Structure 1
Amino acid sequence: MGDDAAPMSSHRPYLLRALYEWIVDNGMTPHVLVDAGQPGVRVPAHAVKDGRIVLNIAERAVGGLRMDNDALRFSARFGGVSQSVLVPLPAVIAVYARETGHGMALPEDPRGVEAQLQAEPVSASVEDSGAPDDDGPGSPGEPPRRGGHLRIVK
């Protein structure tokens, strides 16, 4: 590959959407593991544990789910209160099926987090669609029931 090649866009949003679709097509519940300390992350602080949060992004648990090239946006109920959630894609650590743990940790963006944040500013608008109250197992913010099959390798 030559130096004159145009830089490619981030592969992370495409991987996230593909894995989400694969998990849903197999009748499983998609969850994302998020680094809540990343810039621009907007999640309920009371649901964050050790700087991370697990979010159930199944259609029945969230409203207005949008997986854009810059962020994951939706509204969900936390403790019975509907809240807007905004997760810039650099903050998504992994996506997996709650029932099996199958999924993957998303690779680092080769362009670097700072370059991605500068190139793709995150808009803070999230529509509140009044998602159904799903406070049962697998609700947003609840950690997976069994040990995860994913391992973060640094």
Structure 2
Amino acid sequence: MNAPDASSTRPYLIRALYEWCTDNGLTPYVAVAVDDTVQVPREYVKNNEIVLNISFDATSSLKLGNEFIEFKARFAGSAREIMVPISHVIAIYARENGQGMAFPMGPATQAPAGLLPAPSLPAGTPAEAPARAADEHAKIMQLVPETQPAADGGKGDDPEPPKTPPRSRPALKRIK
């Protein structure tokens, strides 16, 4: 089998990280780029993205397939059927510690013009590169709060424990 004929690694990585989360007692979350092909409750979509809890406790009939993630979940007490194309999964991570993997936004994950910001491509990268090539360059990332104090708080040896910053939305941080 030639490399161009190989299937995408994205669904396999998603399943592996889902299994890792559940084996370690963590809650798997997926961040999804939303467009017309994604079946999610639109009232929970912000900036054309939605974060979904895909844990065993939060879903029923979960299927992590090669083309789609499908499950049923309750939103505000109402049962909803969710269907997300694998190509639209931006990241999968553990809620408790932010460890997981983010995927690049390739042509397959871009929504129609004006819905999502255009990704920044490295210099010399053709815009029409296949989505499969984007999977080859997936990076491992960790979610951390956007407002994180310096390791020593800028004070050197401080006898007081650092105060926890107010809870903020996590941001992706690349781990190399």
Q: Which residue of 2 aligns with 1:23?
A: 21
Residue identity opposite 1:148 in structure 2: P
Q: Which residue of 1 aligns with 2:170?
A: 148
From 81, 86, 89, the counterpart of 2:86: 89
Q: Please say if residues 34 and 49 of structure 2, whose CA atoms lie closer than 8 Å, have aligned partners that are also in contact.
A: yes
Q: Please say if residues 29 and 92 of structure 2, whose CA atoms lie closer than 8 Å, have aligned partners that are also in contact.
A: yes
Q: Which residue of 2 aligns with 1:42?
A: 39
What displacement does 1:7 show? Answer: 1.5
What displacement does 1:25 show? Answer: 0.9
**TM-score, normalised by the number of residues in structure 2:** 0.60
Residue identity opposite 1:19 in structure 2: L
What displacement does 1:24 show? Answer: 1.0
Q: Which has the larger radius of gyration?
A: 2
Q: Which residue of 1 aligns with 2:5?
A: 7
Q: Which residue of 2 aligns with 1:57?
A: 54
Give identity over the alignment, percent: 46
From 7, 31, 34, the counterpart of 1:33: 31
Q: Check if 1:79 corresponds to 2:76.
A: yes
Following TM superposition, the consecutive aligned residue runs of length 4 or more in structure 1 with deviations greater than 6 angstroms are: none
- How many corresponding residue pairs? 118
**TM-score, normalised by the number of residues in structure 1:** 0.69
Q: Which residue of 2 aligns with 1:134?
A: none
Q: What is the RMSD computed on CA atoms of the aligned residues?
A: 2.3
SS in 1 for 2:5: coil
What displacement does 1:107 show? Answer: 4.1
Report the Cα distance in structure 1 between the residues aligned to 2:32 and 2:99, rounded to whole angstroms.
Answer: 17
Report the Cα distance in structure 1 between the residues aligned to 2:4 and 2:13, rounded to whole angstroms.
Answer: 21
Q: Please say if residues 94 and 103 of structure 1, whose CA atoms lie closer than 8 Å, have aligned partners that are also in contact.
A: yes
SS in 2 for 1:103: strand
Q: Please say if residues 62 and 74 of structure 1, whose CA atoms lie closer than 8 Å, have aligned partners that are also in contact.
A: yes
Residue identity opposite 2:101 in structure 1: M
Report the Cα distance in structure 2 between the residues aligned to 1:5 and 1:100, rounded to whole angstroms.
Answer: 34
Report the Cα distance in structure 2 between the residues aligned to 1:97 and 1:15, rounded to whole angstroms.
Answer: 14
Unaligned runs of 5+ in 2: 110-129, 132-166
Unaligned runs of 5+ in 1: 117-144
